[in-house]
Copies of this chain bind each other. A is one copy, B any other.
Amino acid sequence: MKGKQGKSEITIDKGINDASPEDYDALFIPGGFSPDILRADDRFVSFSKAFMAAKKPVLAICHGPQLLITAETLNGRDVTGYKSIHVDLINAGGNLHDKEVVVCQNQLITSRQPDDIPAFVQESLRILG
């Protein structure tokens, strides 16, 4: 499929109905308004919950952490996200940090916005490496 701006193209290997969390080592949740759609669908909520429960690396940026709120996985965790969802992250029991990247228990990596991508990628590669 093509990206929203038509500039990049990506091949989707598998749909959510055919994918099992056990087959993957890490989960990346991109931002934008997509997480609002994902969190309204129990299949994606369960999928993300499985990675958090298994303590596998989860990398979420911008609105990505919204999915983790619905999965009820942020209580007591250090976290950040897009400005508009800061209050939701706090209300979900997260310890909010207004920083470009937040690493929690060397497992959960979150960032706020596109400007934070270099720091987000650096920390993500570190824990995946």
Q: Which A residues lie at the B interface, using CB under 8 A? A: 33, 36-37, 39-40, 63, 66, 69-70, 72, 82-84, 87-88, 91-93
Contacts and interface: CB of A to CB of B under 8 A. Distances in A.
A49 to B, nearest CB: 13
A39 B63 CA distance: 13
25 contacts: A33-B33, A33-B36, A36-B36, A36-B63, A36-B84, A37-B84, A39-B84, A39-B87, A40-B82, A40-B83, A40-B84, A66-B84, A69-B87, A69-B88, A69-B91, A70-B84, A70-B87, A72-B87, A87-B92, A88-B88, A88-B91, A88-B92, A91-B91, A91-B92, A91-B93
Nearest to A88: B88
Q: Which one of A66, A69, A70, A91 has the highest number of Cβ atoms from chain B below 10 Å of its Cβ? A: A91
Contacts of A72: 87
A60 to B, nearest CB: 16
Contacts of A63: 36
